[in-house]
Amino acid sequence: MHKAGLLGLCARAWNSVRMASSGMTRRDPLANKVALVTASTDGIGFAIARRLAQDGAHVVVSSRKQQNVDQAVATLQGEGLSVTGTVCHVGKAEDRERLVATGFSPYNVSKTALLGLTKTLAIELAPRNIRVNCLAPGLIKTSFSRMLWMDKEKEESMKETLRIRRLGEPEDCAGIVSFLCSEDASYITGETVVVGGGTPSRL
């Protein structure tokens, strides 16, 4: 095969993968699915909640504060999305029980333990045709990470540590989660996807 033909074939294949992972090839890839997302009124969780709902899932938004739940739900419902919400403060037993009743199990785990939990749950839930995957975000521009990029000097310093010379946006995480929830990822379970801009440190 000529080099030009091979490049064209690769370009078409990559375009198909890109469109599939972004949900462009079919409508509502997450229809008939329910997703529980811990989210406030902005940041990674909120972007994920919006993307999953846009892709057809019914999303249950969880936060420690009722006002955050109300605002997130109102914003997303105002966009015509199927979203409800529940308060969960992990220090309160009744909140944890309510969250479990909504469809989520262990909640307050450390980030490192979550990696092992992902592997364990993937094994335990596979016979029920339930897949479990994990997202490990790097430096994403949210209010939580503001201290790391709040001034230009700090931001430029952080960019120097990344192979992709920019900080992540919440939407960079949302598309990956939507893909993992879709049928396109039906053969993926027990995995942790790092969205870190090529940071040298790994899990």
Give the closest residue to 23 by CA, choosing from 135, 129, 176: 176
Burial of 123-142, coded b for 16+ CB within 10 Å and e otherwise, reads eeeeeeeebbbbbbbbbbbb
Of the residues 107, 155, 159, 190, which is catalytic?
Answer: 107
Place of tokens 């090529």: 198
- State phi, psi for 195 to the nearest 5 degrees: -110, 85
Active site residue 107: yes
DSSP string, 118-186: HHHHHHHHGGGT----EEEE-SB-SSTTGGGTSSHHHHHHHHTT-SSSS-B-HHHHHHHHHHHHSGGGT
DSSP 168: B
Which residues are the active-site residues? 107
